[in-house]
Structure 1
Amino acid sequence: MADMAIDMRNRFVVAAVFAVLVMLWSPMATDMFGVHLPVPFGLRQDIWALVLSLPVIFYSSAIFFTGAVAALRARTLDMMVLVAVGIGAGWLYSLAITLTGGGEVFYEASTMLATFVLLGHWFEMRARGGANDAIRALLDLAPPKAEVIRDGVPVEVPTAEVVVGDLLLVRPGAKIAVDGVVAEGDSEVDESMVTGESMPVHKEPGSTVIGASLNTNGTLRFRATKVGADTALAQIVELVQQAQNSKAPGQKLADRAAFWLVLVALIGGALTFAVWLLAGASFAKAMLFAITVVVITCPDALGLATPTAIMVGTGLGAKRGVLFKNALALESSARIRTVVMDKTGTLTKGEPEVTDVVTAEGYTADEVLRLVAAVERESEHPLAAAIAHHAETLSGTTQLDAEKFENVPGHGAVAEVDGHRVVVGNRRLLDREHIDLEPLAAHRDRLTDSGHTAVLAAIDGTAAAVIALADAPRETSAAAVAELHDLGIEVVMLTGDNRATAERIAADLGIDTVIAEVLPGDKAAKIAELQRDGRKVAMVGDGVNDAPALAGADLGIAIGAGTDVAIETADLVLMRSDPLDVPTALRIGRGTLRKMHQNLAWAVGYNTIALPIAAGVFVPAFGFTLRPEIAAMSMSGSSVIVALNALSLKRLHLPDQHSSAD
């Protein structure tokens, strides 16, 4: 894009210089500004203008003529055809007049027309280059060099030469070159430039690292697992490029409209020429109006209306870790009215957390947790790990050791801790130990009825506490639901979990509708039911069992930390695994579609008004007419307005980014 913009700039500069010279020696300069310069070398004015126009026609305008030939060979009509006809008709007519003895010529009109069109194209390319900042920024993230350990010694090599299986060294403050798995070391890694995650992520042996992320404080050695085009960064760049190069339904409609507009312009130019001749105008005047009609109705703005908006929208999404796979996904996101969200791993963290500790009379939560945690640290059960972790996070809680540990499969565990016999597990374990639960039975029932998992603890044969655990919502889930409500969108939770648990989560987050206890194979059917009501439905999920629903929804949104099959099936990927990015994506989609409509309305409205003016309809009443060069300036200005309006999408108001809750 940069090379094309430079080439367009060079063509414009040459055209501008020679067009100004043609204008200085033209009758228009004398009539309008009183400038009358002697023609060099004793040449006729029209011959001198012909000589000055040659660089403009054969160098600067060559792209229009080659583009027109390519379009005609493809049996289509585009703006290249119109510009070529406008420039070529005026110049060839003038050439014929010059070679047959002289007369009124349009060299200044043809050269100024080429100049203004080239100026418009140069500005458009610069604007589109600005829309592509996201791609360039992503490509610049990858470090050019990497330290590979060869024979026990770090050797600096180009990143392109790193191969799968290489052991790499990453020092504090250095960028990670490729994707891999940590072999040695501990550190915090800033992955925000790739995933959008605002908080550094702790890395230790076995952790995965992403190429282009920044190692902040420790030294890491990691084994390369993906290099080159297989890295996460390369895949992101490819997704964004595919989206920017794809066509939305609105763009396909604009392309068809542009074809017919070119045809109308050519026919309109021919009719304008014929009508003015029949009205008694001179051949030169009729030709002037015809060229003006052809030039001013160039559908350049119409062709730019949606691609520029798509480029800005996808780039804006990429900067926020929201990856649209194609333009259809971008346009579809603007029309969503119902968002269906999977519960586990999407709205929630997908792992249990302690939510309540209810103690019997005579016990404190800290005291019970110290004893229970000592038992649970000996167990491998996920609930045991959650309780132990919760106890460790409480300030002032010292760790105790368990003795005579006994695991009771399916029931819990028993051990001696600090001289006490501690029993941790379910109701059946307490029954086996002949422990009366009655003081805590009501609390246990209340918690289980509200969707919690209740773990019972007894100390020295007495029921001491009920510890409630649940899959906790992500920190941003409630904010995400609130943002969706602000957009007028209904939020539905779809889960295979029991209704009590689902209802509890939904109540905490403010979700409108709960569809619970759904088998994995039935999720797609539930999506279809919602669609049958005429709603445009988005599905947000992360697992293999979500893939059919993601594929069946009008818009499939995959959480970035989800499975490969979910990400592959979805239309949109949230790299940060943050529910708050769902409303962000929909806002970007709505903003992009709004810019498309604005640009299309401008392009159509401009041509509707400009065509009759260019054809001279208002000349009899007002004496108002346009020359081709003014028409070219107007057409180019219209295209630039469209490009700048698309770029204004960068100022779209989006929700504040939060740290995702992993």
Structure 2
Amino acid sequence: MQKQSPNLLDKTVLRAAAWLAFKKLTPKAAATNPVMFVVLIGTVITAFFTVQRLFAGQPFGFELATTLLLLFTVWFANFAESVAEARGRGQADSLRSAKRALKARRIKNGNEQNVDADLLRKGDRVRVVQGEYVPADGEIVKGVATINESAVTGESAAVLREAGGDHCGVIGGTKVLTGEFEFEVTADPGHSFLDRMIGLVEGAQRQKTPNEMALTVLLAALTMVFILVVVTLPPMAHFMGVSLDYTMLIALLVCLIPTTIGGLLPAIGIAGMNRALAANVVAKSGKAVEVAGDVDTLLLDKTGTITFGDRQATRFMSAGNAPAVELVNAAVLTSYEDPTPEGKSVLELAEREGYRVPERPVSADYIPFSAETRLSGITLADGTTFVKGASDAITTWADARDIRIPDDLKTLVKEVAQSGGTPLVVATDAQILGVIALTDVIKPGVAERFARLRALGVRTVMVTGDNPVTAGVIAAEAGVDDFVAEAKPEDKLNLIRAEQAKGRLVAMVGDGTNDAPALAQADVGLAMNSGTQAAREAGNMVDLDSDPAKLLAVVEVGKQLLITRGALTTFSLANDVAKYFAIIPAVFAGALPAIAALDFMGLHSPVSAVLAALIFNALIIPALIPLALRGVKLRPMTAEKLLRNNMLVYGLGGVALPFVAIKVIDVLLSLVL
């Protein structure tokens, strides 16, 4: 489920943004934006000239008009940023409602104490029962429960959280619907997940990204160049007999500097983070969203990302001369303590096919699954061991015990793998009994999204613990560019490092503690909200829906941010070029015949030309606010084609529009001047 951002034309948003824009009209706030800071200084100076001429009894219409237009230019620039922030604060208000005065059952020295949630500290152990709210962020260490996380994610469907797995994380402010559990607090007050989310979406903790800072430096340099150009104009004008007062010079300067992109740049960055949050993804910084747009390689787990991840046992296949009933009995015994959906599906398949399954052992030692052994099982009280796992893992296990490998085992494994399923081999400490076929389903539309990413220059790599044959079938059907089969947790880390060594930016998704090193190493690490605290801390993004496929949407949000910034920068710089050739000839045409030849627009007068340019300058910023906040539509195309389209649409459009608009405004002004 996606959060809906407040509508751009929502009256509450606009009122809040308008007031916030006025509050930003301070030197301290304006100083963070060099271009707008120059405009603000110009506003103050022209206001001084206006008052001076008023008290001197001299005409002050041009000075007053210039002051108001400069003021509107700065205010509209602040308004663009304020609208983006106000929309984010609307989302923050819904998150803040999840924070309330909560009580907690803190366990200390074996006793329960009822305390305020604000008194909980990292490391405290807390018990929560059905109907209560989770008082703080933490990880379940005992018990299982279904939890309503709609206050955070917006999704009304309950989620299952339990101890001992990758889905053990809980968030303060969510409600326990059924069950009870004990959890360990992982965040002190003021540093919880909700606290960080609220700070981020309100923009209070937004830092400029490297590209944004580089562009700010470029805009500041261009502004300095135009300041130098304008400073040299008075002696030139005096030499040519043209009268240029200081108000005219300031107006010329503001017309020439890149005010459009300077005013919209902060709004573009904030809007990018808001779009990520609208997709229920919390970016820990604007840099994470931006880097997602530059990603070259996407590492994707097969299960849950490319496929639904709910693999189900669909068939028992005996190997050698093993009786089917023995295979089923062994499969059931190894699945009684298996908490995974696959393990539960084995029991369901046995019952569905009418087998008389053995009773659950009263006294037995369970062999848990691990990424290293890639098998699980059970040892009964009489010493008999039953195991199930990946074919190569069971083969290695059998070889170590001198258990014969049935001749048809490879054929059975290959048959399941070639059909796109996952084979689980079942064995005892006496013989290999056969194969359980697990099948998964590829998510609809995944192949189309991979094709879309490929067109944007992103390479996709599927990482799975399946054997190479199964992995190859799934990879071909899903349309990924490459795959890594029989992967262990450290293989992800090694693959990320190998890709980065080639100069590529890598994104990956994970939810377990064993994913934390790779999430930290990746340039974009998307952690699942339901995952462990280690994974959430290691990643620079958190998906509130815990949907691994969300990484695809994250990359698209980042691409859209970069494309929007590039398009509006191209448009703004093209505007400056057009305004330079529209205004300078109009100002100097009367005194310098050589320049008069360039005055092809035939503007009414130098004053009307400058005022027309200022009016255009002030109006173009609010006109582009919707585009800056919504973003340029993302279309799958190469970087070269994208650059060509930007130059044609926003470059040529940015050059042509000022000539037309300034001429129209000049004609209207000539009627009143």
Q: TM-score range by the shorter chain?
A: 0.5 to 0.7
What residue in structure 1 maps to residue 661 of structure 2?
Answer: none
Please say if residues 370 and 398 of structure 1, whose CA atoms lie closer than 8 Å, have aligned partners that are also in contact. Answer: no
What residue in structure 2 maps to residue 81 of structure 1?
Answer: 38
Q: 1:538 aligns with which of 494, 498, 507?
A: 507
CA–CA separation in structure 2 for the residues paired with 1:111 and 1:381: 71
Please say if residues 425 and 435 of structure 2, whose CA atoms lie closer than 8 Å, have aligned partners that are also in contact. Answer: yes
Q: 1:329 aligns with which of 273, 288, 306?
A: 288
Higher mean displacement: 326-335 or 494-503 = 494-503
Q: 1:596 aligns with which of 562, 565, 571?
A: 565
Higher mean displacement: 264-273 or 527-536 = 527-536
What residue in structure 1 maps to residue 217 of structure 2?
Answer: 256
3-state SS of 1:511 partner:
coil
Q: Which amino acid aligns with 2:299?
A: V
Q: 2:425 aligns with which of 447, 454, 463?
A: 454
What residue in structure 1 maps to residue 434 of structure 2?
Answer: 466
Are 1:209 and 2:175 matched, yes or no? no
CA–CA separation in structure 2 for the residues paired with 1:650 and 1:179: 37
3-state SS of 2:282 partner:
strand
Q: Deviations over 1:38-89 (max 9, x none)?
A: xxxxxxxxxxxxxxxxxxxxxx9x946x459x95xx9x95422333235414
CA–CA separation in structure 1 for the residues paired with 2:53 and 2:362: 109
Are 1:401 and 2:359 matched, yes or no? yes
TM-score by length of structure 1 reads 0.68
What residue in structure 1 maps to residue 253 of structure 2?
Answer: 294
Q: Which amino acid aligns with 1:262?
A: T
Give, in angstroms, the shift of residue 437 of structure 1. Answer: 6.8
1:280/1:193 Cα in 2 relative to 1: closer, same or farther (>3 Å)? same
What residue in structure 1 maps to residue 299 of structure 2?
Answer: 340
CA–CA separation in structure 2 for the residues paired with 1:516 and 1:11: 54
Give, in angstroms, the shift of residue 585 of structure 1. Answer: 0.7
What residue in structure 2 maps to residue 113 of structure 1?
Answer: 69
Q: 1:513 aligns with which of 482, 494, 497?
A: 482
3-state SS of 2:586 partner:
coil
Give, in angstroms, the shift of residue 246 of structure 1. Answer: 2.1
What residue in structure 2 maps to residue 200 of structure 1?
Answer: 158
Please say if residues 143 and 176 of structure 1, whose CA atoms lie closer than 8 Å, have aligned partners that are also in contact. Answer: no
1:112/1:629 Cα in 2 relative to 1: closer, same or farther (>3 Å)? farther
Q: 2:628 aligns with which of 646, 651, 656?
A: 646
Please say if residues 304 and 643 of structure 1, whose CA atoms lie closer than 8 Å, have aligned partners that are also in contact. Answer: no
Q: Deviations over 1:523-574 (max 9, x none)?
A: 5554454456665443444556655655555544444555555544444443
1:462/1:247 Cα in 2 relative to 1: closer, same or farther (>3 Å)? closer
CA–CA separation in structure 1 for the residues paired with 2:342 and 2:65: 84
Give, in angstroms, the shift of residue 577 of structure 1. Answer: 3.6
Higher mean displacement: 293-302 or 598-607 = 293-302
1:320/1:254 Cα in 2 relative to 1: closer, same or farther (>3 Å)? same
Give, in angstroms, the shift of residue 247 of structure 1. Answer: 2.0
Q: 2:551 aligns with which of 572, 577, 582?
A: 582
Q: Deviations over 1:352-408 (max 9, x none)?
A: 85343236999998x888755664466779899556543478498886636899989
The answer for unaligned runs of 5 or more in structure 1 is 13-59, 655-662
1:197/1:400 Cα in 2 relative to 1: closer, same or farther (>3 Å)? farther
TM-score by length of structure 2 reads 0.67
CA–CA separation in structure 2 for the residues paired with 1:411 and 1:273: 85
Give, in angstroms, the shift of residue 282 of structure 1. Answer: 4.4
1:614/1:130 Cα in 2 relative to 1: closer, same or farther (>3 Å)? farther
CA–CA separation in structure 1 for the residues paired with 2:501 and 2:361: 61
The correspondence of residues 31-110 of structure 1 with structure 2, limited to 5 A, is 63=25, 66=27, 78-89=35-46, 91-92=48-49, 95=52, 98-99=55-56, 102=58, 106-110=62-66
1:96/1:308 Cα in 2 relative to 1: closer, same or farther (>3 Å)? closer
1:549/1:487 Cα in 2 relative to 1: closer, same or farther (>3 Å)? same
> What root-mean-square deviation, in Å, do the aligned CA atoms of Structure 1 and Structure 2 show?
5.6
Give, in angstroms, the shift of residue 596 of structure 1. Answer: 0.6
Q: Which amino acid aligns with 2:152?
A: V
Q: Which amino acid aligns with 1:92?
A: F
3-state SS of 2:483 partner:
strand
3-state SS of 2:102 partner:
strand
1:84/1:295 Cα in 2 relative to 1: closer, same or farther (>3 Å)? same
What residue in structure 1 maps to residue 80 of structure 2?
Answer: 124
Q: Which amino acid aligns with 1:649?
A: G
Please say if residues 302 and 600 of structure 1, whose CA atoms lie closer than 8 Å, have aligned partners that are also in contact. Answer: yes
Q: Deviations over 1:113-132 (max 9, x none)?
A: 35523652563254223442
CA–CA separation in structure 1 for the residues paired with 2:38 and 2:342: 73
CA–CA separation in structure 1 for the residues paired with 2:518 and 2:568: 34
Give the length in aligned residue pairs.
584
Q: Which amino acid aligns with 1:202?
A: L
3-state SS of 1:487 partner:
helix
Give, in angstroms, the shift of residue 579 of structure 1. Answer: 2.8
Please say if residues 557 and 571 of structure 1, whose CA atoms lie closer than 8 Å, have aligned partners that are also in contact. Answer: yes
Q: Deviations over 1:184-227 (max 9, x none)?
A: 99763232553576742135789653223344x54757667245
Q: Which amino acid aligns with 1:140?
A: R
Please say if residues 455 and 468 of structure 1, whose CA atoms lie closer than 8 Å, have aligned partners that are also in contact. Answer: yes
1:381/1:119 Cα in 2 relative to 1: closer, same or farther (>3 Å)? closer
Q: Deviations over 1:574-627 (max 9, x none)?
A: 343423212101111111111111221222122222244444627655143455
Give, in angstroms, the shift of residue 518 of structure 1. Answer: 6.2
CA–CA separation in structure 2 for the residues paired with 1:553 and 1:263: 38
CA–CA separation in structure 2 for the residues paired with 1:302 and 1:629: 20
3-state SS of 2:631 partner:
helix
Q: 1:245 aligns with which of 198, 201, 206?
A: 206
CA–CA separation in structure 2 for the residues paired with 1:476 and 1:240: 34
What residue in structure 1 maps to residue 460 of structure 2?
Answer: 491
Give, in angstroms, the shift of residue 253 of structure 1. Answer: 2.8
1:194/1:504 Cα in 2 relative to 1: closer, same or farther (>3 Å)? farther
Give, in angstroms, the shift of residue 293 of structure 1. Answer: 0.7
CA–CA separation in structure 1 for the residues paired with 2:334 and 2:603: 94
Please say if residues 493 and 515 of structure 1, whose CA atoms lie closer than 8 Å, have aligned partners that are also in contact. Answer: yes
CA–CA separation in structure 2 for the residues paired with 1:128 and 1:143: 23
3-state SS of 1:245 partner:
coil
The answer for unaligned runs of 5 or more in structure 2 is 1-11, 368-374, 389-393, 591-598, 637-673
Q: Which amino acid aligns with 2:218?
A: A
CA–CA separation in structure 2 for the residues paired with 1:148 and 1:407: 36
CA–CA separation in structure 2 for the residues paired with 1:324 and 1:11: 25
Please say if residues 492 and 518 of structure 2, whose CA atoms lie closer than 8 Å, have aligned partners that are also in contact. Answer: yes
Q: Which amino acid aligns with 1:484?
A: F
CA–CA separation in structure 2 for the residues paired with 1:159 and 1:403: 42
Q: 2:101 aligns with which of 145, 151, 160?
A: 145
CA–CA separation in structure 2 for the residues paired with 1:296 and 1:7: 25
What residue in structure 2 maps to residue 43 of structure 1?
Answer: none
Identity among equivalent positions (%) equals: 22
What residue in structure 1 maps to residue 148 of structure 2?
Answer: 190
CA–CA separation in structure 1 for the residues paired with 2:366 and 2:273: 55
Higher mean displacement: 525-534 or 294-303 = 525-534
3-state SS of 2:219 partner:
helix
Please say if residues 457 and 466 of structure 1, whose CA atoms lie closer than 8 Å, have aligned partners that are also in contact. Answer: no
What residue in structure 2 maps to residue 318 of structure 1?
Answer: 277
CA–CA separation in structure 2 for the residues paired with 1:185 and 1:544: 19
Q: For the pair shown, which has the larger CA radius of gyration, 1 or 2? A: 1
CA–CA separation in structure 2 for the residues paired with 1:371 and 1:574: 40
CA–CA separation in structure 2 for the residues paired with 1:113 and 1:233: 41
